[in-house]
Amino acid sequence: MTSRSASRAADRTATRKNGWELFPHRADTGVRGFGSDKHTAFEQAATALTAVITDPQWVMPRLAVEITCEAPDLELLLVDWLNALVYEMATRRMLFSRFAVRIENRRLRGRAWGEPVDVARHEPAAEVKGATLTALEVARRTDGLWVAQCVVDV
Amino acid sequence: MDKTNLSQVSTVEWRVEPSGAMRVPAIIYADERLIDQMDDKVFEQVTNVAKLPGIVKASYAMPDAHWGYGFPIGGVAAFDPDRGGVVSAGGVGFDISCGVRSVLTGLSRAEIEPFKRILADALFAKIPAGVGSTGRIRLGGSDMDAMLAGGARWAVEQGYGEAADLERVEEGGAMPAARPDQVSPRAKRRQRDEMGTLGSGNHYLEVQEVAEIYDTDAAAAFGLRAGEVVVSIHCGSRGLGHQIGTEFLRDMAAAAPDLGIALPDRELACAPIHSAIGERYLGAMRAGINCALANRQIIGHLTREVFAALFSKARLELLFDVSHNTCKVEEHEIDGGRRRVYIHRKGATRAFGPGHPDLPESLRPFGQPVLIGGSMGTASYVLAGTAASEARAFSSACHGAGRAMSRHRALKQWRGRQIVDQLADRGIVVKSHSSRGAAEEAPGAYKDVDAVVEASDRAGLARKVAKLSPLVCVKG
C-alpha cells in the first residue's frame, strides 16, 4: 500500500459513526474503533489493528477463525481480543478484514474472517507484537458513541 | 519537553526532584536540543516510574528516550527486592532482549563495493524477514525448552556458529535461571517457526563501513579498522518474547489490586519481585532473553554462510552482542554499599566499564562494547562502557536514535519507493518486502543519532569508539 492510501483510509473512516482510525504514538501506533454499541467498537478496533499492517480492503474474508476471551473488565477484554487476533495472525500467518463480536458479562465471542498473508499483494508494513495498556479506553462518550482504543507495540 | 519542571545539572543532565508520590528523583541525560525535541510523555513516564515501590536512587531516561508504554523507551530503573521492589513487564517491553549483534568481516569496503547488490540479494534471500516469514528450523517440545534454557549456547551446540562466539555475548550466551516451564504453550507455539528470522518494524541487518575511529586503543581491541566492513543485526526474541510480554503485562495489571499495588496508571503494571507472579515472569522473561540470544546467533551463522559463499577471504568474527530490553540482577554501588538490585533497561544498553568481571579478558581493559543502531541510512556507533557509567545510571547507555516522529506522520510525509531511491543515490542498497514499511522507517522519522551518541559520551554513560556508515540494509 502506498503511504497516502493508508492515511486516506484512516481519515475516511474516522468521520463515520461506525469506523476506525489509527492515532499517533511516538514509537508505535494507536488503534481506535467507534460504534453505536461496544460490540461494533471492538470490531472496528480490530479493523484498525489490521490497518497497522496493511490496507484492510486488500484482505479477502475467505476463512473464519473463532475467538473467545474473558477478562475482569471491558478494557482488559479489548486488550485480550486484540492480542488473540495478534496470536492468530502470527501462528496462522493470516490477516483479517471482517469481524463479528458479541460481549456478554465480560466474555467475548468473536469471529474473524481473513486469508493467508500474501507478501506481494498485502505488502505488510510491520507485524504487531501485542496490544498494550497505554491509552487504553473502552467507554461510551457523551454523544452516545462507543470508543475502544489502545496503543499497539509495532 | 517543557523544561519548567526540570532543573539543569549540566549541559547533558536534567533533574526532577521528588514530589507527590515520587520516591526518588528522575534524571534525564540529554543536551538542550534533545530535551526540546523530547516528548512530554517522557516526563510523565519517567516520573511515574519514580513512584514505583522499591525503586533505588533515581528513575533515569537516556538521550534517545521517547514515549513508551509505562516506562519510557530509553528508561532505566533499579529495584531492591528486599525493600518491596517490583518487576515490570512493561519495563522490559514486548520484544524481550531485542538487541544488536555486530560481526567483523576482515574485508575492506573496496572489496565488497563491486558485489554490493549481489551481497544484498543473497542476504535478503537467506535471512527470513518481514511479516509472515518463517525460518527453516521448526522447534517444539523438549527442543524448544532446551533452546529457552541454553540461548546462544544451545544454538552453537546445534551447529550455528562457533564456541568462541559465546564470550562475546552478554551472559556468555546463556541467561541463567531461565524457566522454560513458565513460558506458556501459546508463547512457544508462536515461536515454533520463527527461529532465525529478523522480524519487522525497526529490525534490520546492515552491512556497514567503519567510517571513523575516535578511540584508537579500544577500536584496535574491538577489531575495528577504518575502511573495513562489519555486519550489524538488530532483532529480538520474536513471537515468543512478544507473547510473554503480552501475557504478563495483562496479568500483572489484573493482579495489581490483589497484590496491594496502587498504580499511577494501569500501563505501569508490575508485581513484587518476591511474589508468585513476579517470580514466574522473571523465569519466563529470562527464557525470552535466551530466545533472542539464540535467534541472533542463528542469524549470525546465516550471515557467515552468505559471506563465505561470496568472499573466500572473509572471516566473520563476533565483535559483541548486546540486549536492550531486559531486567537483570546486578550488584551496584548504592548509598555507599554494594547491593544486588533488579535493573530494568527498556530501550537502553548495558554498558559495563573497564575492569568489570563479567567482561571477557580481551575486552576487560577497555569496557563493554556498546552497539548503537542508527536508522536506515544514518550512522551507527560503537561505544565502550566507562568507569563513570555505574554512578550515572547503573552502567547503562542509549540504544539507538529513537523515533522523533510517529509511524502515522512518517506515512503522511514519505513514500517507500522515494526513500529507497534516495538511499540508492547515496550508495546505500535497501532491501525490503514492504514499501510502506520503508516509509514508516524513513531516516527522517528518527532523532539525530549523532546528537544522541554525543550526549551519551558527554554525560559519561559510554565513550565513543567508532562510527559505522551503512552500505546495505536488509529491512525486517
Mean pLDDT of B216-244: 97
Longest CA–CA span in chain B (Å) reads 64
CATH topology of domain B7-404+446-475: tRNA-splicing ligase RtcB (3.90.1860)
Residue B243 in this model has a pLDDT that exceeds 90: yes
User: Where are chain B's structural domains?
Assistant: 7-404+446-475
CATH number of A3-153: 3.55.10.10
Residues of chain A neighbouring B404 (CB-CB closer than 8 A): 26
CA dist., res. A67 & res. A71, Å (int): 14
Q: What residues in B contact A4, CB-CB < 8 Å? A: 412, 415
Nearest residue in A to B64, CA atom: A27
Do residue A123 and residue B434 have CB atoms under 8 angstroms apart?
yes
Cα B101 to Cα A135, B45, B204, B232: the distances in Å are 33, 29, 11, 6
CB contact under 8 A, B66 and A4: no
Q: Distance between CA B372 and CA B118 in Å, rounded?
A: 26
pLDDT of amino acid A3: 41
- Which B positions 250-279 lie with beta carbon below 8 A of chain A? 250, 253-254, 266-267, 269
Place of cell 544488536: B100
Identity of the residue in B39, B69, B411 whose CB atom sits nearest the CB atom of A7? B411
What does the domain layout of chain A look like in residue ranges?
A: 3-153
Note the pLDDT tens digit of each residue in A74-128.
Answer: 999 999 999 999 999 999 999 999 999 999 999 999 999 999 999 999 999 999 9
Q: Pairing mode, if any, of strands B396-397 and B349-350?
A: antiparallel
What ranges make up the beta strands (E) of A1-145?
Answer: 19-24, 29-35, 63-70, 94-104, 107-116, 130-131, 137-140
Q: Does residue A13 surpass a pLDDT of 60?
A: no
Mean pLDDT computed over B13-34: 97
Of A80, A91, A117, Cβ closest to residue B189: A91
Write out the three cell numbers for B359: 567482561
> CB-side exposure of B208: number of CA atoms within 13 Å?
35
Please state the rounded mean pLDDT for residues B287-312.
98
Cell matching residue B414? 514519505
Q: Which residues contact B258 (CB under 8 A, 6 or more apart)?
A: none
Q: The C-alpha cell of B301 is what? A: 551463522
Within 101-140 of A, beta carbons closer than 8 Å to B belong to 116-117, 119, 123-127, 129-134, 136
Quick check: ipTM above 0.85?
A: yes
Look up residue B136 and give its three cell numbers: 527453516
Distance from CA of A37 to the nearest CA of B (A): 24
- In B157-259, DSSP assigns E strands to 204-213, 228-235
* Chain A: closest CA distance from residue B90 (Å): 9
Q: Which long-range contacts (C-beta less than 8 Å, at least 24 apart) are formed by B359-366?
A: B360/B167, B360/B168, B362/B221, B363/B221, B363/B222, B363/B320, B365/B221, B366/B217, B366/B218, B366/B221, B366/B222
Report CA Rg, chain A.
14
Q: Which residues contact A85 (CB under 8 A, 6 or more apart)?
A: A46, A49, A67, A96, A112
Interface of B with A in 33-52 (CB under 8 A): 39, 41
pLDDT digit string, tens, across residues B49-95: 999 999 999 999 999 999 888 999 999 999 999 999 999 999 999 99
Q: Do A129 and B186 touch (CB under 8 A)?
A: no
Q: What is the DSSP letter of A59?
A: S
Interface of A with B in 88-107 (CB under 8 A): 90-91, 93
Residue A17: Cβ-neighbour burial (10 angstroms; 0-12, 13-18, 19+)? exposed
